[in-house]
Amino acid sequence: METTQQFETVIGLEVHLQLKTKTKIFCSCANDFGGEPNTRTCPVCLGLPGTLPVFNKQVLDYGIKIGLALNCAINNVIKFDRKNYYYPDLPKAYQISQFDLPIAKDGFLLVPSLNNELKKIRIHRAHLEEDAGKLMHDAVHPYSLVDYNRTGTPLMEIVSSPDMHSPQDAYDYLQTLKLTLQYLDVSDCDMEKGSLRCDANVSIRPKGETKLGTKTELKNMNSFKAVKAALEYEIARQTSVMLSGDKIIQETRLWDENKQMTFSMRSKEEAHDYRYFPEPDLVPFTISDEKIQSIKKMIPELPIDKYHRFIEHYHLSDYDARLLIQDAPLADFFEICAKNFHDTKKICNWLNTQVLQELNERKAPISKTLLTPDNLIMLIQKTDAGIISNLAAKDVLKIIFETGKQTEQIIEEQGLAQISDDVTLEKIADDLIRENQKVIEQIKNGEQKALGFLIGQAMKKMNGKANPKKIGDILQRRIFHG
């Protein structure tokens, strides 16, 4: 691509995160998702005259927690400001936000990228604000409909520095940021529900140039994949504009998922004259160092630290560690298993394949399923000892997920135990050797495939319950040693 030869890409991301408090940021309406329109509003969040906002304590705590996890400095004094603009989703005609004294600033996030290196993406600032309502319109009707249920939902806006240089960088950053936020348990982080939203600022400049080029702001991406695709499209578009000698126009562009293109919003530029001023209805807030310290203690081990510890302490592969940390309850489950069973590789093999598949199908965290660490270990041990086949073990796991029964009980009830008793297997080997003289000759000539065929026949005779390794051993002994 031409960009990689002549131009450098510069990307900064703004992430809006809905905090999962019980109530809204400035009123006592429930902070929830879905439901009938306009059933979670009050005079405060409808912006009726004579009402006053009161700040939700929990929002401040969550904000501090996020700031600390993103290695930010927490401001000891914060205040709120009014961001003024007219839009039907904003009943007061201003949004209460933070302008010059945001809750957090100057942080960074360490982002593992494809080739095992850690990229440091700086966090410029993070501030608290209220969400707007939801506007709905279709192509047919000459009006828009407004639902104010979302109005006043607490938001944390996390603004990165322009430290990313490819759509993949942006994707990796978003993945790591989301995972970190999930560990903090402060938000659903669900892009489909809109509890995590991302806008991207992107510009290109000739390689070696230090001044930033004119940027465009991309909106309306509904997944991390869409963010990546929108950036790819926009970089190609800007490159062709530059190459043709034209100038990039600073503007907001909307991603169209169906057409896989960005379109200029062509909005009136006055919309960007927000005339911030201090919110007179809210007093300033001080955050003591003691408060910061007490919240710091509530931050769990973060994914990047867990990743390093798993590799060091349990000697996991990069792949296994990476996969496990994606799911905090699964990582906890692994650690309980590892306490009682030495072979961590084997535990990972189960967790990162069949177990993960079951979890995905059920869309549930492992802690909400019927699988227990003890039961999984028992399953691994029974399989290891050859008591059940690998195939049967998969069935047992499914049944555990469905019923919560003990591994041993399932093996017995389903008759899944492999037949390993010598008398039965010797008899079968005898029969087979008698019936398949031609195959025996092939085996004697060193054809491994032929032995496999014979084992397959044995399994058939035993309805799949023979221990394949054992029958193989017996057959070889009989054939070569009589």
Burial bucket for residue 110 (CB in 10 Å: 0-12, 13-18, 19+): middle
Largest CA distance in the chain: 100
Indicate the Cα dihedral angle 69, 28, 151, 299, nearest 10°. 10
**Residue with tokens 């093999």, as numbered in its chain:** 349
Tell me which residues in 19-78 interact with another protein (CB under 8 A): 21-23, 28-30, 36-43, 46, 48, 54-60
273's contact among Zn ion, another protein, none, with CB below 5 to 8 A by partner kind, is another protein
Given the rule CB under 5 A, which of 24-32, 178-186, 201-209, 324-332 is the region that contacts Zn ion?
Answer: 24-32
How far CA 258 is from CA of 230, 234, 238, in Å, comes to 12, 16, 21
Measure the CA–CA gap between 180 and 176, rounded to whole angstroms.
6
Of 83 and 306, nearer to another protein (C-beta) is 83
How far CA 479 is from CA of 13, 81, 118, 285, 431, in Å, comes to 69, 87, 57, 86, 12
386's contact among another protein, Zn ion, none, with CB below 5 to 8 A by partner kind, is none
- Total residues contacting Zn ion (rule CB under 5 A)? 5
Of 48 and 385, nearer to another protein (C-beta) is 48
Residue 79: CB minimum distance to another protein, A: 5
Conformational region of residue 283, where left means phi above 0, alpha means psi within -120 to 50, and beta covers everything else: beta
111's contact among another protein, Zn ion, none, with CB below 5 to 8 A by partner kind, is none
**Residue with tokens 């039907």, as numbered in its chain:** 88
47's contact among Zn ion, another protein, none, with CB below 5 to 8 A by partner kind, is none
Closest CA to 59 of 295, 300, 302: 295
Within 257-367, strands assigned E span 261-264, 277-278, 285-286
Query: Which residues, including other chains, have CB under 8 Å from residue 263's CB and lie 6 or more apart?
Result: 253, 254, 256
CA quadruple 286, 287, 289, 294: dihedral sign = positive
Residue 178: CB minimum distance to another protein, A: 24
32 counts as binding Zn ion under rule CB under 5 A = no
**Residue with tokens 């489950």, as numbered in its chain:** 333
456's contact among another protein, Zn ion, none, with CB below 5 to 8 A by partner kind, is none
Residue 61: CB minimum distance to Zn ion, A: 20
Of 44 and 393, nearer to Zn ion (C-beta) is 44
Residue 414: CB minimum distance to another protein, A: 48
Residue 14: CB minimum distance to another protein, A: 18
Among 25, 29, 287, 380, binds Zn ion (CB under 5 A): 29
Tell me which residues in 277-306 interact with another protein (CB under 8 A): 278, 280, 282-286
Given the rule CB under 8 A, which of 160-168, 276-284, 334-342, 388-396 is the region that contacts another protein?
Answer: 276-284
Tell me which residues in 36-65 interact with Zn ion (CB under 5 A): 42, 44-45
Closest CA to 267 of 302, 313, 336, 216: 216
Burial bucket for residue 130 (CB in 10 Å: 0-12, 13-18, 19+): buried
Of 114 and 283, nearer to another protein (C-beta) is 283
Question: Given the rule CB under 5 A, which residues bind Zn ion?
Answer: 27, 29, 42, 44-45
Which residues of the shown chain bind another protein in the complex (CB under 8 A)? Answer: 21-23, 28-30, 36-43, 46, 48, 54-60, 79, 84, 86-88, 101, 135-137, 141-148, 220, 254, 265, 270, 273, 275, 278, 280, 282-286
